[in-house]
Amino acid sequence: MNDGSGSRDSTLRAVAKKVVPSGVRDKIRPYLQAQRDRLAGRELRQIRQSILDAGTGLESSVRLAEFDVSFNDAPVCYHLYNDMFVNGIYYYEPTRPDPFVLDCGSNIGMSMLYFKHLSPNARVVCFEPDPVLLPYLKKNIAQNNLKDVQIVEAAVSSSDGELSFFADGLIGGGLSESAPATASVETKVKTIRLYDYLTEECDFMKMNIEGAEWDALEDAAERLPLIREMAIEYHHLPGLPRTLHSILTLLHEKGFEYSVSDFGVDSYGPATLPMKLEKDTRYFRHIYARRRDTIPD
């Protein structure tokens, strides 16, 4: 969806400021925004349909942005694209030509593609343990001829070792403590410490590791200040300890400002009031954090 229309819009706005009185601009601005929203919505519906049309086989491919994307679950592929390329849940502004990015929980590689979209020279380390998804991640790197992308075939945790991993055969999976209810295929996967990969300034870290986020962050606490910006998906799932407060406290203590939000109804269902908590309540929260010393005055 990045076709240069943004620069054309900027040029048109600059011309409009010169030739259209401010009072008139104020009156027509809502109508112009509504038109842009309609066009964006129509384009997004077309993209959604193209993904669903392509996703008729066990393995499918579709052209998204400037990339060829292979996937095995069309609805999830669409939601990943919508969350990242449209809503920008992992957006950051690179401050150098070759930013260093840690992609914890790469899945099929949509986030990796998004980071390369933001900065083609980004150095990305992809962590993914799921043997079902790894072939798609590898293919999405190879078929787009991407350089400076490293795959670590392991789950991010608090120790080096091996744990049971449960997958659903499509796009869902997790370590034994956090596996989705639909996951039934068990395999042993390697685990690694986030701590060991924080050895230099990290421009952005994305973390979606299905409930293991607190263990990994606590273990790496000493080196978290090396990260400039990060986005963490917090998982509130039955059977897992409640660690949202611990994560936020740790971020504060290590010099980060943060915000917490939901992901929107498209991906994770409605988050409407009044809220009701039960023993089996499942919810997810998006934590964005930025080191305080990097925030502009």
CB of 84 closer than 8 Å to CB of 110: yes
CB of 263 closer than 8 Å to CB of 284: yes
Residues listed for the chain: 297
Question: How does pLDDT run along the chain (297 residues), one tens digit per residue?
Answer: 444 444 445 554 555 555 556 665 566 666 556 655 665 677 788 888 888 888 766 689 999 999 999 998 888 899 899 999 999 999 999 999 999 999 999 999 999 999 999 999 999 999 999 988 999 999 999 999 999 999 999 999 999 998 877 766 555 665 555 555 555 667 888 999 999 999 999 999 999 998 899 999 999 999 999 999 999 999 888 888 899 999 999 999 999 999 998 865 555 555 566 777 888 777 889 999 999 999 988
- Residue 29 Cα to chain centre, angstroms: 32
Residue 7 is predicted with a pLDDT of 44
Radius of gyration of the chain measured on its C-alpha atoms: 20
Residue 231 is predicted with a pLDDT of 97
End-to-end CA distance of the chain: 32
Give the CA count within 13 Å in the CB-facing half-sphere of 63: 2
Catalogue all structural domains in the chain, each as residue range(s) with its CATH number.
1-54 (no CATH), 60-294 (3.40.50.150)
Where helices occur in the chain by DSSP H, the ranges are 5-19, 22-54, 74-81, 110-118, 134-142, 213-219, 244-253, 265-268
Look up the pTM and report it: 0.82
